[in-house]
Amino acid sequence: MTPAVCVIGSIGGRRNVDIIIVMKDNNHRVSDAVHYNIPVRVREIVNGHLLMNERLRCQHNRTILDEIIADLIDYRDTLPSESDLEACNVL
């Protein structure tokens, strides 16, 4: 079976840098890794901001919200898009 080479994901904040070799049998593993890691990372970002503010009590909640949103957008921009995943047959 010949592997398909797809460029998806990110490294160092640059999109589409990682090369993932996808065998037809393993497409679901790539899709699951992307799909199930998103909520984990989102929780880490949000909880990290909230916990730090609870400890430090030095920021207004609106400022924290703005920082959470900015970090989530940065994270989103590192993820492969649906069309990237579809092109690799891992959607």
Tens digit of each residue's pLDDT (9 = 90 or more) over 48-89 = 999 998 888 888 889 999 999 999 999 999 988 888 878 777
d(CA 8, CA 18): 6
* Residue with more model confidence, 37 or 11: 37
Tokens of 81: 């898009």
d(CA 20, CA 33): 12
pTM of the model: 0.66
Q: Is 13 helix (H, G, I), strand (E, B) or coil?
A: coil
